[in-house]
Amino acid sequence: MSGWTELTVAKVEAGLPTDMGALYLAWVEGNPSKGSRLAEIVAETVVSFREAVNTQCGVVMDEDPTMIPATGYRHAFNLAVFNLGMEMGVQFAPEVYSLFVQANIWLRMVQTGKLRPVPWETEAVGTPSYESGRGK
């Protein structure tokens, strides 16, 4: 389905900044019980983004539960990385916090209907029509 992309643990691991990637590997090695934590964070992020989209009328959701709107991918990725870093105790630079805020703004804009995250599916919502009411 167009307009959707997959957010996975592998994509998040591959996209971690180099220094954070090394910290993550050391963190998991030092805390073996945290080995599945990134998978849990990614799953929670995907659910949050899908639930936000599902609040909009006329959206045809992708049936694959790992798919999120492509327009929100970067925000979802940043949110997952931020949450992982916070759990690991990473001290982020102040500008990184703005990425967290931007992700939450994106989610709220979708939930309030101010942002359409996926293209309209005409089969689901119909097509616009106009009747002036004149001449009757």
19-62 pLDDT tens trace? 999 999 999 999 999 999 999 999 999 999 999 999 988 888 99
129 or 63: whose pLDDT is higher? 63
pLDDT at 132 over 80: no
3 pLDDT higher than 50: yes
pLDDT value for 135: 54
Of 49, 48, 25, 50, residue with least CA distance to 38:
25
The predicted pLDDT at position 118 comes to 85
Tell me the pLDDT of the chain averaged across its residues. 88
**Angle between helix 94-111 and 73-88 (nearest 10):** 130
Centroid of chain to Cα 132:
41
Ranges 43-47, 60-64, 110-114, 131-135: which has the least confidence: 131-135
Give the side-chain half-sphere CA count within 13 A for 117. Answer: 35
